[in-house]
Structure 1
Amino acid sequence: MSLENYLFTSESVSEGHPDKVCDQISDAVVDYILAREPEARTAIETAATTNKVVLMGEVKISEDSAVTPEEICAVARDTIRKIGYAQKGFHFRTCSIDSYIHEQSADIAQGVDAAENKDEGAGDQGIMFGYATDETPELMPAPILYAHRILRLMAEARHSGAAPLLQPDAKSQVTMEYRGGVPVRADTIVVSTQHTARDAAGAELTSDAVREIVTPFVQAALPEGFIDARTVWHVNPTGRFVIGGPDGDAGLTGRKIIVDTYGGAAPHGGGAFSGKDPTKVDRSAAYAARYLAKNVVAAGLAKRCLIQLSYAIGVAEPLAVYVDTNGTAEVDPAKIEKAIRESMSLTPRGIRTHLGLNRPIYQRTAAYGHFGRAPEADGGFAWERTDLAEALKAAV
C-alpha cells in the first residue's frame, strides 16, 4: 500500500549556479552546432572555476559546417554574459575560456550510423525514465515544480532590474506536506541567493533584508493557501552569500540531474542530458519517456505513470519498455504498455522525428528543469505536448 501522508522535499538551482552555468554552456554549443548541421553529433562537457572555463568532448560534423575553437569559446562567453556574470571572480569579458573539443570516435560513430543492413542505432547503452503525476496542472511533482518557479521568478526580476540586489547564483528547496497522497501545503521553504554586499544606501545586506526581497517571489510561486503560519522559512541561513557562481564553487556539466528531472520523486537513468545531441538516448529517450508518461496521465488512464526504456549501443529498438502506474491505472497496465509501443517509434530516429529534436532548442532546457515547461512554437519542449492522449485512450 502506498504511503498517503508524508513530507517530500525537492531542490532547484538557478541559472547562475556553477553546475548550471556549465550545463547552459554545453547546450549553447549544442544549439550552435545543430543550427549549422541538424544531423551533427555532439558530446560537450564544460568545467568552470574562478575566471576559468574549459570545454571538452567530441563532435561529428561535415567539413563544410565545421566550427572553430574560437567560435565555441565565443558561444561560451556570450552564455556567461546572458546569465549575468560580470563579477571580479567570474566575468564574461575577462574569464579565460579554452576548448579541447575534438572529432567523435570512429568506433562510436560506426555503431550509431545507419548502414545498408541496419537502422541507426542508439548512441549508448543505458536506462531512461519518464514520469507524470496529476498532482499539478503541469503533471509534475509539486515540490520540484514550485522550487523551479521560485528561482525563475527571482531570475526574471534580476534580469529586468526589478531586483537589483540579487545576483545570479541561487538555490531553493520546497518540502511539501501530502495528505491522502495529495500536496496540501508547504511545510518548509529554503532559499539561498547570492546578493550584493550592500544595498543602495550603502548598508550591509542582512539575511532579514534578503528575506524581504525573496518573500514575494516565493508567495507568487506557490498556490494560494500553501504557505501558512506553520510554514518554516530558511532564507540565506549562513547569513551571507556574496561570493557565488564558479568563483565560489567549481561547476561541471551533468551534476544536477535530479534537479533536471523530477526532484527525486521518480528515478533517473544513468546519464545527464546537457551537451548531448538527440542521437544520445540519455537525452532523447528520457524526453520520449516523459512524453509518453504525460500523455498516459493526460488521457486519464492513470493518476501516476512511470516509464522506463532501455537501449544497447548501436541497436535501434529499445530492449524493454516498462510501465508502472503505482496502482492508479484505470485499465490493465499491460494494455497501456502495448498502446505505448504502438503509438510511436521508440528507435532513436523515430523519437527524433516524432518530437522534432534535430534543432537548436536545448540551451533553454538547461536551467529550471527539462520537464513541466510549456511547449513552444519553434519545437522547444515538444515532449511536453499531450497530443497523443486521444490515440492512447482509443488504443486501450
Structure 2
Amino acid sequence: MRSNYLFTSESVSEGHPDKVSDQISDAIVDLFLSKDPEARIACETMTTTQLVVLAGEIRGRGIMDEQGNWAPGVEDEVEQTVRETVKRIGYAQSGFHWETLRFENNLHPQSAHIAQGVDAKGNKDEGAGDQGIMFGFACDETPDLMPATLDYSHKILERMAADRHSGKAPFLEPDTKSQVTLKFEDGKPVAATAIVVSTQHKAGYDEGAKQDELHDYVKSVVAGVLPAELLGDQTVYHINPTGKFEIGGPDGDAGLTGRKIIVDTYGGAAPHGGGAFSGKDPTKVDRSAAYVTRYLAKNVVAAGLAKRCTIQVAYAIGVSQPLSLYVDTHGTGTVADETLEAALTKVAAEKLGGLTPRGIRESLGLNKPIYGRTAAYGHFGRKPDGDYFPWEKTDLADALKQAI
C-alpha cells in the first residue's frame, strides 16, 4: 500500500438528478415495507424535465396481487409519496416542480421464477435475491471509520443543504456536487490540495458581488467541515468553475436510480460489487450483504485489528449460504487475514445467525422502512439512530477480539 499520494472523492447532493431518483425509489421501498415487512421490491426511477417514471417489480400483502391489481388506495399513495419526496428535496421550479410534474407508474408483479428461488419453502431456506459480489470497507482516517476524502465531500453538501432548507443560504438551489483532493503522507491526510463545489443557484449569482457572496459562503462551509490544519495556501478552490448554474436537477440532466454507487459507498477508496442499493428490499443481497460487510469491516477496525479492512462475500441466486468470504487488511492487520476470516465467520454465526440473507436482515432489522435516509450523503459513515443505520454500530468489536 502506498504511503505518499494524492486521492480524490466526490459527492452529490440530494438535489442531484440521480439522487432524486434514488430517494424516490427508497421512499417507495419504505412505503411498501411499512405495509408488509416481507414485501419484495425492485423499484427503478427515471427523472427528467417535469417527469418521473417508476418501473420494476413488486410483491406484498396489501400492495399488489399476482395479477397486477393494486390494493385500494395504494396506487394513489405511490404518486403522493413521489411528489412529497420531490417537494421535500426542494424542487418547485418550472422545469421540475413537485406539484405539476407528470408521473408514470409502471410497477408490476414480481416474476414467479424469481420468487421461487428467493422464498423459503419446505426444507429450503430463503435464498439470495440475485447472484453477485458485495464489498465492505472501513479505515481509520476519520472517527466514522470512512475515507476522509468522501467523508468531507459528503459533509460539505450536507451543510449546504441544511443552510438552504433553513433559509440561511437562500441563493442556493438543490443540485450541488463536491469533490475533495487530499495529500497523504505516511498514509495520513496532511493537506487539502483541491476543493471543487458546483452548486445550482438563484438568478444573478454568477457574476459581480453576488458571485463573490456565493464563493465566500462556500469557502466558509469548507472551513467549517475540514480540519483547519488541512487548509492553507496549498488549497486550490474551484467553485462553479463553468460559471452560471441556474438550470439543474432533472431539468438539467436526466436522473436514474443506482448511478451513483461510488458516492453511496467509499468514494473509490475500496471496490464496489455489481449492484446498486436504492429501490431494493433487503432480500436483495446487493443491499443487505453490502451493509453487513461494512458492519464487519467497521468492527474489525474499531477493535484495533487493522487500520484498513476490505471484506468481500459472494452469492448465487436462490442459495442461502455465501459462496465465499474474503478479508484483506492491506498489510495493516495485527493478525493474519486468514485468522480474521475464521473469526468473522465464527462471530457472524454466533451474533447474526450467519451470513445468509435471512440472518442478515433479521439480525440487523432490515425489514423496516429505514431506507429513505440512506439515499443521499452515503449509506456508510452515518450515525446509528434507533432503527436507522444499524450496520454502523461497533458492538461486535469485543467479540471479534475474543475470537482471535
- Shorter-chain TM range is over 0.9
* 1:164 pairs with 2:170: yes
TM-score norm. by structure 2 comes to 0.95
SS at match of 2:106: strand
* 1:364 pairs with 2:363: no
The residue type paired with residue 125 of structure 2 is D
Report the CA distance between 1:69 and its aligned residue.
2.6
Q: Identify the residue that residue 44 of structure 1 maps to in structure 2.
A: 43
Report the CA distance between 1:335 and its aligned residue.
1.3
Paired residues of 1:210 and 1:236 also in contact (CA < 8 A): no
Q: Identify the residue that residue 375 of structure 1 maps to in structure 2.
A: 384
* 1:224 pairs with 2:228: yes
Report the CA distance between 1:75 and its aligned residue.
0.5
* 1:260 pairs with 2:259: no
SS at match of 2:228: coil
Q: Identify the residue that residue 392 of structure 1 maps to in structure 2.
A: 400
The residue type paired with residue 209 of structure 1 is E
Report the CA distance between 1:68 and its aligned residue.
3.0
Q: Structure 2 vs 1, CA of residues 64 and 17 (structure 1 numbering), >3 Å: closer, same or farther?
A: closer
Paired residues of 1:193 and 1:236 also in contact (CA < 8 A): yes
Paired residues of 1:18 and 1:48 also in contact (CA < 8 A): yes
Distance 1:217 1:269 in 2: 33
Paired residues of 2:131 and 2:315 also in contact (CA < 8 A): yes
SS at match of 1:225: helix
The residue type paired with residue 374 of structure 2 is T
Report the CA distance between 1:204 and its aligned residue.
6.8
Q: Identify the residue that residue 119 of structure 1 maps to in structure 2.
A: 125
Number of corresponding residues: 392
* 1:83 pairs with 2:82: no
* 1:181 pairs with 2:187: yes
The residue type paired with residue 356 of structure 2 is T
Q: Which residues of structure 2 form unaligned runs of 5+? A: 65-70, 349-353
The residue type paired with residue 251 of structure 1 is G
Paired residues of 2:32 and 2:63 also in contact (CA < 8 A): no
Distance 1:214 1:387 in 2: 37
Report the CA distance between 1:224 and its aligned residue.
2.1
Q: Identify the residue that residue 215 of structure 1 maps to in structure 2.
A: 219
The residue type paired with residue 86 of structure 1 is A
Q: Identify the residue that residue 362 of structure 2 maps to in structure 1.
A: 353
Q: Identify the residue that residue 68 of structure 2 maps to in structure 1.
A: none
Distance 2:176 2:400 in 1: 40
| Equivalent of 1:236 in 237, 240, 265 | 240
Distance 1:118 1:140 in 2: 38
Report the CA distance between 1:207 and its aligned residue.
4.2
Give the share of equivalent positions with the same residue, in percent.
63
Paired residues of 1:85 and 1:92 also in contact (CA < 8 A): yes
Distance 2:62 2:224 in 1: 50
Q: Which residues of structure 1 form unaligned runs of 5+? A: none
Q: Where do 1:121-136 residues align within 5 Å?
A: 121-136=127-142
The residue type paired with residue 285 of structure 2 is V
* 1:321 pairs with 2:329: no
Paired residues of 2:35 and 2:63 also in contact (CA < 8 A): no
* 1:304 pairs with 2:293: no
SS at match of 1:208: helix
Paired residues of 1:198 and 1:205 also in contact (CA < 8 A): no
Q: Structure 2 vs 1, CA of residues 33 and 205 (structure 1 numbering), >3 Å: closer, same or farther?
A: farther
Distance 2:8 2:381 in 1: 17
SS at match of 1:354: helix
Please give the root-mean-square deviation of Cα atoms over the aligned residues, in Å.
1.4
Q: Identify the residue that residue 343 of structure 1 maps to in structure 2.
A: 347
Distance 1:343 1:380 in 2: 22
TM-score norm. by structure 1 comes to 0.97
The residue type paired with residue 360 of structure 1 is P
Q: Structure 2 vs 1, CA of residues 55 and 298 (structure 1 numbering), >3 Å: closer, same or farther?
A: same
Q: Identify the residue that residue 58 of structure 1 maps to in structure 2.
A: 57
